[in-house]
Amino acid sequence: MKHVLLMLLALLLSSHVTASEDNYAFDDPNTRAQFLRLTEELRCPMCQNQNIADSNAMIAHDMRRKVYALLKEGKSEQQVIDYMKARYGDFVHYQPPVTAATLWLWAIPFAFIVVAMSVVLIRRRTTVDDDNIEEKLAKADAMLKQEKE
Amino acid sequence: MKKFPLVAVPVLLFTVLIVFLFQGLFSDPRELDSQATGKPLPDFSLPDLMQPDTSYGPDDLTGKVRILNVWGVWCVTCAVELPYLTKLSREQDVTFVGLYFDQDLDPDFGTKTLSRVQQEVTDMLSRYGNPYAFNIFDVYRDMSLDLGVTGAPEHFVIDAEGIIRMHHIGDINERVWNNKIGPLYNRLRQQNRSLEAAE
């Protein structure tokens, strides 16, 4: 039992190991870091819930090769992202751009907070606004007294 | 009367949520809006699959309405659609051009020879039918990447000016042809013919 648990733990911990097996040589550690970052950020169009670093689909393989080639040419990270977006659409990058259609992703949580806050505030104001409170308290006292008797 | 709107708010929100989620049931996550549609073909210079000495460029795909079919012998759906494509090319005079790429022919660690690929292609086409006017060999799969191809089979309807008019992901069968691709193809061909007749 202990072994099974240990193995499960090991499995959980190893989840971040990526499947890419290609060997790409870099002269500059910065370019290497860029390559690793880009292949994590770019999404595979074939196997949609994987990034291209993680996927073994042919298209992901080709995209890694292209990212490598573009970085070797001296392209910046943004240029590589734009290159892929021009071919596969916004879909290919895990960071969605802010457009009229995607604005809601950011707007709805804030709108929800604003609406909830205003509801709470309005509610509170209306309950405080009770002017015959004395009368009601007297009535409640009378009821309590009655119960005691 | 005063309470009515407050009750309606959660009901309304719930209805909106349900409609949104219900639509999600029928949306296809594989359906990507193609970036290639409406654009001219990307620049390329690639050899013929069977005669590697012949090379093609974007100019070889103008002057006529064509369907560029991305395929490979390793692709099962391609084999399934080949007989129907052949029928279309014979009976309705539809022009298909193949964009062939091989899965095993790894550009970095070449494992397969070209003659082997040619042999496999010949075998497959003689078995299932050959709808292609010619086959462009996408050696490094660069052209596929430029076109935004995600796999095979995929089809591009290219008009006489070399502009991509439609990007269809998946196979062509009778239903797809009659409802989606056929009407566009025939309209474009009609336009081109009347243009040619006017000249």
| Higher per-residue pLDDT: B144 or A132 | B144
Contact B107 A91 (CB under 8 A): no
For A105-131, write each residue's pLDDT tens digit: 889 999 999 999 998 998 887 766 566
Burial class (CB in 10 A: 0-12, 13-18, 19+), B110: exposed
- Residue ranges of the domains in chain B? 37-198
For A22-49, write each residue's pLDDT tens digit: 578 888 888 889 999 999 999 988 887 8
Instruction: Tokens for B154, please give them.
Output: 């995929």
Residue B135 confidence (pLDDT): 93
The half-sphere exposure of A7 on its side-chain side, counting CA atoms within 13 A, is: 4
* Overall CATH class of domain B37-198: alpha beta
Q: Compare CB distances from A62 to B29, B35, B145 and report the shortest one's residue.
A: B145
Q: Are A94 and A41 in contact (CB under 8 A)?
A: yes
Confidence of residue B154 (pLDDT cuts 50, 70, 90): very high
Q: Does B105 score more than 60 pLDDT? A: no
Residue A22 confidence (pLDDT): 59
Options 3.30.1280.10, 2.10.260.10, 3.40.50.300, 1.10.8.640; CATH for A2-92 is 1.10.8.640
DSSP structure string for B43-76? P--EEBSS-TT-EE-GGGG-SS-EEEEEE-TT-H
Which B residues 21-80 touch A at CB under 8 Å? 29-30, 32-36
Q: Compare CB distances from B150 to A59, A85, A86 and report the shortest one's residue.
A: A59
Q: What distance in Å separates the CA atoms of residue B199 and residue B194, rounded to the nearest whole number?
A: 9
**Mutual orientation of helices B114-128 and B76-91 as an angle, nearest 10°?**
60
For residues A78, A83, A84, A87, the Cα torsion angle rounded to the nearest 10 degrees is 150
Peptide bond into B153 cis (omega under 30): yes
Q: What distance in Å separates the CA atoms of residue B97 and residue B133, rounded to the nearest whole number?
A: 6
Instruction: Tokens for B60, please give them.
Output: 């070889």
- Neighboring chain A residues of B149 at a CB cutoff of 8 Å: 59
Q: Compare CB distances from B145 to A57, A87, A89 and report the shortest one's residue.
A: A87
- Residue ranges of the domains in chain A? 2-92, 103-148
Query: Across residues A89-110, what is the average pLDDT?
Result: 86
Q: What are phi and psi of B75, to 5 degrees?
A: -95, 120
Contact B150 A86 (CB under 8 A): no
Residue B18 confidence (pLDDT): 94
Contact A66 B147 (CB under 8 A): no
- Neighboring chain A residues of B148 at a CB cutoff of 8 Å: 45, 87-89
| ipTM surpasses 0.85 | no
Average pLDDT, chain A: 82
Chain B CB within 8 Å of residue A37 CB: no
State which amino acid sits at residue A147. E
Q: What is the DSSP letter of B197?
A: H
For A54-82, write each residue's pLDDT tens digit: 888 888 888 898 899 999 888 899 999 99
